[in-house]
Amino acid sequence: MGAGYIKISCLPFALMMAKQYGDLEILQEIENLCISHQKITQSSECRDFNHRAALLLQSLEEKGFFPLADRMMDLLACCNPKDLSQCDSVQRARDILERLRYLARESLGE
């Protein structure tokens, strides 16, 4: 075999490892979002959280985790960073994050 070929027997294992690595990254980012949401004290942190959630949504959609992406869209729909007032969706966002965490652990297998 030449330099540009992949052994067929290695391909399924490589794909499985890539998927598993992606799953672990997703689980970790969901955990990080849950933790960072609990620590938000300023609107700039809220905007950063919102940006990270949007990036995770993009990753979930790219990897085909559509049920998790749907929950992330729910989170982004209720998350509206405000500069001068307290967030009025804190509890709803926490509930969505907890549901997202549960679904991710269940479907990605922790």
- CA 104, distance to chain mean position in Å, is 9
Residues contacting residue 105 through CB under 8 Å, at least 6 positions apart? 27
* Residue 89: CB atoms within 10 Å: 15
The tokens for 1 are 């075999």
Q: Which residue has the higher pLDDT, 88 or 26?
A: 26
1, part of any domain:
no
User: What's the chain's average pLDDT?
Assistant: 77
Q: What is the pTM of this model?
A: 0.72
Looking at the structure of the chain, the number of domains it has is 1
3-state secondary structure of 6: coil
Residue 5 placed within a domain: no
pLDDT class for 84, splitting at 50, 70, 90? low
Instruction: Compute the Cα dihedral for 33, 36, 41, 45 and give only its sign.
Output: negative
pLDDT at 110: 54
Q: Hey, what amino acid is at 92?
A: R
pLDDT in tens, 12-51: 443 344 455 577 888 889 999 999 888 887 777 888 898 9
* Residue 41 located in a structural domain: yes
Indicate whether 4 belongs to any domain.
no
pLDDT confidence of residue 10: 40
Domain housing 93: 15-108
